[in-house]
Amino acid sequence: MLKTLKGGIQACVQDLGRSGYRHLGVSQAGVLDPLAMQYANTLLHNPEYTSVIEITVGLCQFEFLLDTNFSITGADLGAKLNGQNLDSNWRYAVKAGDILSFSSSKDGLRAYLAVQGGFQLDAVLNSYSTDLQAGFGGLAGHQLKDGDVLSYESFPPLSKVGAALPKYNNRIRVLEGPHCELIGSSKLQTFIAQQWQVLPQSNRMGVRLEGEQDLSHTQSIPSQAVMPGIIQLPPNGKPIILGNDCQTTGGYPIIAQVIEADLRHLSQLVAGQSCTFELVTREEAKQATELQAKHLAQLKIAINNNDKNTK
């Protein structure tokens, strides 16, 4: 079992999220950085979709109550095991009573903690993800609090091994949105040409941006289905990039859509940090997704070979 000693800013159980329920008004939830989660699970020979703990900002602490192996991926939030520094994107063996703690970072926002075999939880609508807005899934539908305990199986120690997770960057690739002509064709060029700053009001529901050039408008659209990665443009001209906990419908014009492969970069944008956008084609978006899948497949082969050779 894993006991939460300090819940921190926001640590919660997530997996790849809920699919097939948006028509019922159920948000996707799930990890904001799927690749980091898949790397964490691959290091431990878990299925890619196995639930993990998504740690936002850090400042949390856990105690392992059973021997096992764990991995940490994503941003380097200053993880320490019994006071000793740990490298991100590695797996480690741990004994009962060991203490894992996280500080924080100015360069990244979220880290992912996985244990071998995964956490033992009840699925809700075919997912273990915590829907923080609706209050279900994960551990009783809430972020981890001091004293919360997650169950897991005990495993013998594995050798220490790491993975080169593709680097994060603040240049994010997007596809053109369906309402650019409605709000004025020049709005998209202005959006792409300038630098944007992440606002403190950003969270799992969406990343709010502010720029120097005016993108305000007076257009509206009938409410329509929306999804994570869509970039809405409210009348005030300050874009909102929808996150995994976003609503299922919206009435703001859509100026662009973040490509699937670059959603992970959004997960690490800290308030006050700057980002820019690059317009790409659907074919380029497809190639980016395929490249990530190739990296993951190569990691699986490397981990399997490593562990066979160390037995």
The overall longest dimension of the chain from CA atoms, in Å, is 65
pTM: 0.94
Distance CA 48, CA 165 (A): 15
Question: pLDDT (tens digit, 0 to 9) for every residue of the chain, 311 residues total?
Answer: 999 999 999 999 999 999 999 999 999 999 999 999 999 999 999 999 999 999 999 999 999 999 999 999 999 999 999 999 999 999 999 999 999 999 998 889 999 999 999 999 999 999 999 999 999 999 999 999 999 999 999 999 999 999 989 999 999 999 999 999 889 889 999 999 999 999 999 999 999 999 999 899 998 899 999 999 999 999 999 999 999 999 999 999 999 999 999 999 999 999 999 999 999 999 999 999 999 999 999 999 999 888 887 65
* Domains of the chain, start order: 2-162 (no CATH), 171-280 (2.40.100.10)
Distance CA 34, CA 49 (A): 9
Of 201, 186, 165, 206, nearest to 71 by C-alpha is 165
With a CB cutoff of 8 Å and minimum separation 6, the contacts of 270 are 106, 107, 108, 109, 198
Of 48, 63, 55, 59, nearest to 94 by C-alpha is 63
With a CB cutoff of 8 Å and minimum separation 6, the contacts of 40 are 52, 71, 72, 73, 74, 112, 113, 114
* One-letter identity of residue 166: P
Distance CA 199, CA 209 (A): 6
Residue with tokens 């994060």: 168
